[in-house]
Amino acid sequence: MTTSLWHERAAALAIDGRAFIDGQRVWAKSERQFDDLSPIDGRNLGPVARCDGADVDVAVAAARAAFEDRRWAGKSPAQRKRVLIKFADLVQKYGPELALLETLDMGKPIKYSQSTDVGATANCLRWYGEAIDKIYDEIAPTAANSLALITREAVGVVAAIVPWNYPMIMAAWKIAPALAAGNSVILKPSEKSPLTALRLAEIGLEAGLPPGVFNVLPGFGQEAGAALALHMDVDCIGFTGSTGTGKQIMQMAGQSNLKRAWTELGGKSANIVCADCPDLDKAVAAAIGSIYFNQGESCNAPSRLFVEASIKERFLEKALALLPNYQPGDPLDEATVMGAIVDATQLDTVMGYIDAGKEAGAELLAGGRRARGDSGGFYVQPTLFDKVDNGMRIAREEIFGPVLSVLSFTDLNDAVKQANATPFGLQAAVWTGNISKAIQTARALRAGTVHVNQYDGDDITVPFGGYKQSGNGRDKSLHAFDKYTELKTTWIQI
């Protein structure tokens, strides 16, 4: 579609910022609202319900009632499967509208909202729908005169709190396994990008989810988010966001009803390129493509690049040649590959880190400035620092923006030590043509996912999560069911 047609559609789009509770669109009980600003041009997309504890109470009561009367949990896995597959089909049917909302709300290029975000959301719903009627329970090998059944049951009321960087996908990774397992869900999207979550709730209802089973409460973390984390009648919380907030979530879960709390948190992933890397061009393209994808606003972005000293000059020459392809453009232009930073606050954070890198003595080889200044939106050039030391803030802290820190090494063991010298442990990569070296390095890297000679391994069948302060849970794959189910043992005398 042409850029002007996308803009026309954007101007004509009706935005509904009301919450979704018990199958109905409603404003917050307090009647408070907040403005939802588009990072593309700073335009106010419309008012959104500012939910707080009072709305959380209503939503939790609705979710609890739905769970207790078994209107969803009581359906057979095959019945739940049919609804989730219809949900996936409808996400695809409404794909252009959802993609447009995602881009307007969050700033990512429309090309990726359509292919990545809509596609992965539909795929996730479909996959958990397909999976749920293929899982069998167990019988333990106990004594001959008894039978011990080990079964899985839904936990009950699940709160899902998600960030703004992949609003639909992060929501789908929580709601799809939780709903498939028979739970009732309350989703709190980020206040920075609440719109697609609200549409998903309507689409879920259209697909056949009974009222009360899937509720969406937009609002701020300290208000709606904290009320969910502290609520005595929420059984489980699935959280994705920053490590700082993750710690608060764990505390709130502990100080309230010890609800199960699963966290998927920040990262500072290390990408190690050895001199015997089998395909340097591929390594360069992956390093650059992965850090600037989604404007660098990805938890698993390989933001620390360790290059063996003997190939660093050649590597950087090739990397810098690619940067013109990543200049920010209009997110509603299908040719754009880098869009807007989500809001003014995040823009300031990113620019603050760029200043910190310069002050610490790192060498700014490219970027470092704002872009598209006359757009009214928030854009940053793809930025690349060389001569970074692992002790600098730009190497230690998660920037969550298009900023790559390059470090060099001569001894691989030392590079691995530096890669591991971080509180995070989400992802890592190693590039080498030596299979033993690759496997030894992959084993030594303390991360939930390690890539070898690639950085784009991604599939719904594979768990996604971190070691250390990158969180304690795993999204995706059949393992996600562990978070949203309880194991029950039933002893039967025979």
The region of 55-63, 76-84, 410-418, 466-474 touching ligand NAD under the rule CB under 6 A is 466-474
Q: Which is nearer to ligand NAD, 270 or 323 (CB)?
A: 270
CB of residue 283 to ligand NAD, shortest distance in Å = 23
**Which residues touch 187 (CB under 8 Å, ≥6 apart)?**
159, 160, 161, 162, 171, 174, 175, 197, 200, 201, 214, 215, 216, 217
Closest Cα to residue 333, out of 134, 114, 171, 142? 114
- Using DSSP bridges, classify how beta strands 236-240 and 260-264 pair: parallel, antiparallel or unpaired: parallel
Does 221 participate in binding ligand NAD (rule CB under 6 A)? yes
Report the 10 Å Cβ neighbour count for 490: 10
Does 449 participate in binding ligand NAD (rule CB under 6 A)? no
Q: Which of residues 113, 123, 183, 240 is near ligand NAD by CB under 6 A?
A: 240
Does 267 participate in binding ligand NAD (rule CB under 6 A)? yes
Q: Which of residues 109, 225, 357, 367 is near ligand NAD by CB under 6 A?
A: 225
Q: Which is nearer to ligand NAD, 361 or 457 (CB)?
A: 457
Residues 1-60 that bind ligand NAD (CB under 6 A): none
**What DSSP string describes 148-202?**
EEEEEEE-SEEEEE--SSSHHHHHHHHHHHHHHTT-EEEEE--TTS-HHHHHHHH
Residues 142-171 that bind ligand NAD (CB under 6 A): 161-165, 170
CB of residue 308 to ligand NAD, shortest distance in Å = 27
Does 117 participate in binding ligand NAD (rule CB under 6 A)? no
Q: Which is nearer to ligand NAD, 63 or 170 (CB)?
A: 170
Report the 10 Å Cβ neighbour count for 57: 14
The region of 187-195, 203-211, 357-365, 476-484 touching ligand NAD under the rule CB under 6 A is 187-195
Q: Which is nearer to ligand NAD, 119 or 463 (CB)?
A: 463
**Which residues touch 222 (CB under 8 Å, ≥6 apart)?**
none
- Using DSSP bridges, classify how beta strands 383-386 and 403-409 pair: parallel, antiparallel or unpaired: parallel
Which residues are catalytically annotated? Answer: 264, 299
Q: Which of residues 95, 156, 238, 266 is near ligand NAD by CB under 6 A?
A: 266
Does 177 participate in binding ligand NAD (rule CB under 6 A)? no
Residues 415-434 that bind ligand NAD (CB under 6 A): 426
| Torsional sign, CA 436, 464, 263, 50 | positive
CA distance 319 to 323: 7
CB of residue 281 to ligand NAD, shortest distance in Å = 29
CA distance 38 to 171: 20
Report how far Cα 461 is from the mean position of its chain's Cα atoms. 16
Q: How many residues bind ligand NAD (CB under 6 A)?
A: 34
Contact between 338 and 295 under an 8 Å Cβ cutoff? The reply is yes
The pattern of x and - marking residues 365 through 404 that bind ligand NAD according to CB under 6 A reads: ---------------------------------x-x----
Contact between 171 and 186 under an 8 Å Cβ cutoff? The reply is no
Does 190 participate in binding ligand NAD (rule CB under 6 A)? yes
Q: Which is nearer to ligand NAD, 385 or 467 (CB)?
A: 467
CA distance 82 to 474: 25
Q: Which is nearer to ligand NAD, 191 or 308 (CB)?
A: 191
CB of residue 265 to ligand NAD, shortest distance in Å = 5
Report how far Cα 236 is from the mean position of its chain's Cα atoms. 18
Q: Which is nearer to ligand NAD, 308 or 475 (CB)?
A: 475
Which ranges of 384-464 does DSSP label H, i.e. alpha helix?
393-396, 412-420, 435-444
Radius of gyration in angstroms for the set of CA atoms belonging to the chain, rounded to a whole number: 23
Q: Quick one: tokens of 255?
A: 């100080």
Does 451 participate in binding ligand NAD (rule CB under 6 A)? no
The pattern of x and - marking residues 288 through 317 that bind ligand NAD according to CB under 6 A reads: -----------x------------------
Does 241 participate in binding ligand NAD (rule CB under 6 A)? yes
Q: Quick one: tokens of 87?
A: 């949900």
In single-letter form, the type of residue at position 261 comes to A
Q: Which residues bind ligand NAD (CB under 6 A)?
A: 161-165, 170, 188, 190-191, 220-222, 225-226, 229, 240-242, 245, 248-249, 264-267, 299, 398, 400, 426, 464, 466, 470-471, 475
